[in-house]
Copies of this chain bind each other. A is one copy, B any other.
Amino acid sequence: MKEANVMANENEFTKWYIQTIQQGELMDYTPVRGCIAFKPDGYEIWEHIQQEMDRHFKETGHRNAYFPMLIPESFFEKEKDHIEGFSPELPWVTEAAGEVLEERLALRPTSETMIGHLYSNWINSYRDLPLLLNQWSNVFRWEKKTLPFIRTSEFLWQEGHTAHECEEEARQETFQMLEIYKNVIENFLAIPVYDGTKTPSERFAGAVDTFSVEAMMKDGKAVQAGTSHYLGTKFAEAFDIKYLSRENKHSYAHTTSWGTSTRLIGSVIMVHGDDKGLVLPPTIAPVQVVLIPVGPVKKNPQVLEKLEEMFAELKRNGVRVRLDDSDQSPGFKFNKWEQKGAALQIQFGPRDHQNGNFVLKSRDEEDKQTFEITELLSVVEEQLEAMQKRLFQKAKSFRDQNSHLDIDTLEQLKQHIKKSQETDAVPGWILAGWCGAETCEQKIKDETKFTSRNIPFNAITKKSHCISCGEKAAHTVWFARAY
Contact = CB atoms under 8 A, between A and B. Distances in A.
A436 interface: no
Contacts of A70: 32, 35, 91, 154
A166 interface: no
Given A114-B30, A117-B30, A65 B94 contact: no
Interface stretch (A38-46, A413-421, A460-468): A38-46
A149 to B, nearest CB: 12
A102 to B, nearest CB: 10
A371 interface: no
A142 interface: yes
A31 B30 CA distance: 32
Interface centre among A65, A72, A156 (most CB of B within 10 A): A65
Interface in A57-115: 63-72, 88-98, 104-105, 107, 114
A13 interface: no
A66 B156 CA distance: 9
A62 to B, nearest CB: 9
A47 interface: yes
A122 interface: yes
A187 interface: no
Interface residues of A, number: 52
A118 interface: yes
A189 to B, nearest CB: 19
A138 interface: yes
Contact of A35 (B39, B42, B68, B97): B68
A105 B91 CA distance: 10
A342 to B, nearest CB: 16
A411 interface: no
A133 interface: yes
A61 to B, nearest CB: 11
Given A32-B68, A38-B66, A68-B154, A92 B93 contact: yes
A3 interface: no
A33 to B, nearest CB: 8
B43 A66 contact: yes
B88 A97 contact: yes
Contacts of A156: 66
Interface string A18-45: 0000000000101110011111101110
A475 to B, nearest CB: 33
A344 B44 CA distance: 36
A121 interface: yes
A278 B40 CA distance: 37
Contacts of A121: 28
Nearest to A132: B40
A183 interface: no
A14 interface: no
A245 interface: no
Interface centre among A30, A68, A72 (most CB of B within 10 A): A68
A137 interface: yes
B72 A118 contact: no
A134 B95 CA distance: 29
Contacts of A47: 64
B88 A63 contact: no
B40 A63 contact: yes
A40 B63 CA distance: 6
Contacts of A88: 97-98
Contacts of A72: 31-32
Contacts of A95: 91-92, 94, 104
Contacts of A46: 66
A38 to B, nearest CB: 4
A6 B90 CA distance: 45
7 contacts: A30-B117, A38-B67, A43-B64, A68-B154, A91-B96, A93-B93, A138-B138
- Nearest first, the 3 closest Cβ-Cβ pairs linking A and B are A91-B96, A35-B68, A40-B63
